[in-house]
Structures are given as C-alpha cells and as structure tokens.
Amino acid sequence: MGVQRIQRLIVAVSVALGPLTFTSAVGAQATAPPSTGGTVGSRPVGEVVVTGKLGRPPKGFSTDVSDFVASHSQPSPIGLLSRWMTPVCPTVVGLSPRFTDFVTKRITEVAVRVGAPHRGRCRRSNVRVVFTAQPQKLMDHVRDKFPDLLGFHYPREEKALATFQGPIDSWHVTGTRDASGGGYADSTNNDRNPQIAFGGHPTMSGANASRLRGSASSEFLFALVVIDPGRVPKQPIGKVADQIALLVLTNPKRPRSCSPLPTLMDALDSACPASASVASLTPYDESFLTGLYASDAEESAALQQGTVARRIEKGRPADLGQSE
C-alpha cells in the first residue's frame, strides 16, 4: 500500500465522517471557555516550572520511567518508534467553531514546543480529531469502509483494534522511509517491502546499518483521535485538548494500562486514580515527547526508548522526593 493510497483515504474519510460526527456530537460538554493567552493548563506555553532541590531518585524510579516510556510508545511494524516527519495538520469536527479553533491551535502549540515538525504549508489534513456521542458506531464505519486507517494490522486483529477504548482513543497509520529516501505505508499487503507483512525488520540493512541502527525510519502518515464527550463531562477543554495533542504526537501501546508516573494519558481514565488530578501535560509527558522528537529516528526502538528514559530521569521533578 502506497502513501498516495493513504492520502486518497484521508480525503475520503474527511468527506464520509463529517456528516456522521456532526449529527451525533455533543459539543457543549467541555467546560471552561478557551483562553486567548496561549496557556497549557495554568502555565504559559513553553514554561516548565520545577521547584525545590533534586535529591537521589526514589527506589524503583528507573523502572517506573522505563515502564512509562514503553506505555507511551508502541514500536512500529519495523521495530522503530514512529514520529511525525511532516507538519502536523489537524482537522477537528464535532465541536462549535470556538472550541474547534482552540483544540486545533493547542495541538499545534504542543507540537511546536516538543520539537515536532511544524514549518511548511498544510496542503491536506493528516490528523482527524472527532468528537462524537457514538464513538463505536464511528469506528465500525471506519472498520467497514476504511480499515487501513486503523493502522498496521492483520485481519484477525481488526475487530479488537477497532473497538473504542474511551473516553479518548487514537489510531495511527505508519509509514517507512527507506535508505533511498523513498516512502511507503506499512501494510500486510505491502509490495514495496514484503518483509513487513511477516514481521520482519527491513531497517537493519544498508551500507551503514548495524544491529542497533538501521538505514530507515518510521513516520506517522495519519492519526485519528476519537472523543466521547458524554464521558468527559465538565472537564476543562484545555485538559481534553492537551490529551488529544499527546495522542496525536505519539502512538501509545494498546491496550493501555495505568502508568506508574503521573501522566495526562491516564487523567480521564477512571481506572487510573493516581493521575485523576492531572490537569495538563505533566513534566514526564513533555520530557517524553521532547525526547522522542530529538532521538535518532533510525535507531532501534529499544535504543530510542532508552534515550527518552534517560532524558526523563535527568529532568525529573523535584517534588518526587528522595530515596531513603
């Protein structure tokens, strides 16, 4: 499956999903009118406040960080961590124009701050954010008409993959850039590099390749984020928008489990009470995203995750306390 086919699917899904989402969405559920000061949570964009003096990390902190990074980053079919290599161009549907503009701008603000590509003109949307009161009906429609937009999968996995795990869920289409500079979408029907269909890692080849670093990289081609507004009642729109941005910029492991460290990824999940009070991207979330987009895209997933983990440990918040 080529990149051009994915681009045609993006256009098709934009037309097909519009009427369904607009007629079923409940756009007034999110509270707190959008601010115009460019803030994330209660702090200005780009500002990370760390107070106190760092001591030794608490026992088990390194393990918690490793688990945190692993839960935030699902390796691609070629065994690398995916990231955006083209500007993030979101389209938000199912909200009033005022909230639509706010969520769109917030995604872009976070992308800029963590180092994701943002320069250049958006010729077409590559991110679809959908607020709908019927999220499973929407995903059944995607599964029936646009299964490639669920991301890389085998037919036996399709039903489970298309099951909405709300209140917010996401799917990513990934692609591979090879040593020659060419690109193709990851698919079990991939004629360009059929190793992918059998779980192979074609990246570990080429003149400069090794067991730790290949000659290809993995990128996001499309992201779909679906929100059930009925399950996020009275939540600040900034909190919801920040979680959307996080889900756009990385591909978390499925099924998700509660993180050992505070994260916005868990803030709207009633099964993860430890993060219930989180109102915006945490320092761990920001360090993760910044580390992801600063890491070597051609390194193996294990090496990239290690690089991101070390970045988080180095910049850990002072309020974690010290080990005994």
pLDDT in tens, 270-293: 888 878 889 999 999 999 999 999
| Residue 75 covered by a domain | yes
| Residue 123 covered by a domain | yes
| Residue 299 covered by a domain | yes
Cα 101 to chain centroid distance, Å, stands at: 20
The answer to whether the beta carbons of residues 139 and 159 sit under 8 Å apart is no
**Bridging pattern class, strands 183-185 and 39-40:** unpaired
The whole domain housing 132 covers 3-27+56-318
| Residue 244 covered by a domain | yes
pLDDT in tens, 219-247: 999 999 999 999 988 889 999 999 999 99
d(CA 201, CA 79): 6
Which of 6-15, 130-139, 205-214 is predicted least confidently? 205-214
Q: Indicate the number of domains in the chain.
A: 1
Using alpha carbons, select from 204, 171, 151, 166 the residue that is nearest to residue 29. 166
| Residue 36 covered by a domain | no
| Residue 146 covered by a domain | yes
Task: Judge whether residue 37 has pLDDT over 90.
Answer: no
Model confidence, pTM? 0.80
d(CA 285, CA 260): 13
Q: Kindly tell me the number of DSSP H helices and DSSP E strands found in the chain.
A: 8, 7
**Bridging pattern class, strands 90-93 and 127-131:** parallel
Task: Judge whether residue 249 has pLDDT over 70.
Answer: yes
| Residue 237 covered by a domain | yes
